[in-house]
Amino acid sequence: MPSQTKEPQDQEMQDAPVVDYAEENPEEEEEVEEKQRIRVLPGSETTAASFEFENEDHTLGNALRYIIMKNPSVEFCGYSIPHPSENRMNLRIQTYDDVSVYDVLEKGLDDLADLCDVVIDKFTVTRDEFVATK
């Protein structure tokens, strides 16, 4: 006896409905959570702390160490790259008296940003003068 098998019949597929969630909930904005790139390492105190910077290397480490050491409240500042294959830079800051290392780090980052702005401005002016003479 021959077996009777039913052939599956093709069915027309319907497109899925397009839903724009932003229109449904306009008050909800898409928030991109930014990962913290600086963390305080264990054993830190108010006047002596170590920080770990993710995705940073000698470029930031040496410049930041130089700027922070110019602060007269800083007793010691040094950085290290724990391993060349890891994108991490550790920074150690020790201050005199009751000066907060967190304030010193923030001031150092601000001073370094200001220095970068000055370099960009001077470079732009010099480049524009050079282009004008050609």
- Digit-coded pLDDT (tens) for 21-47: 455 555 555 566 777 889 999 999 999
Quick check: 63 and 27 in contact, CB under 8 A? no
Question: Which letter does DSSP use for residue 43 in this model?
Answer: T
d(CA 3, CA 20): 50
Quick check: 63 and 112 in contact, CB under 8 A? yes
Instruction: Kindly tell me the sign of the dihedral angle through the C-alpha atoms of 48, 34, 55, 104.
Output: negative
Which token pair is 6? 């039913």
Best mean pLDDT range from 5-19, 35-49, 119-133:
119-133
> Which domains does the chain show, CATH number per domain?
36-133 (3.30.1360.10)
Confidence at residue 12, expressed as pLDDT on a 0 to 100 scale:
63
Tell me the CA end-to-end span of the chain in Å, nearest whole number: 95
* Average pLDDT in the chain: 85
Greater model confidence, 110 or 14: 110
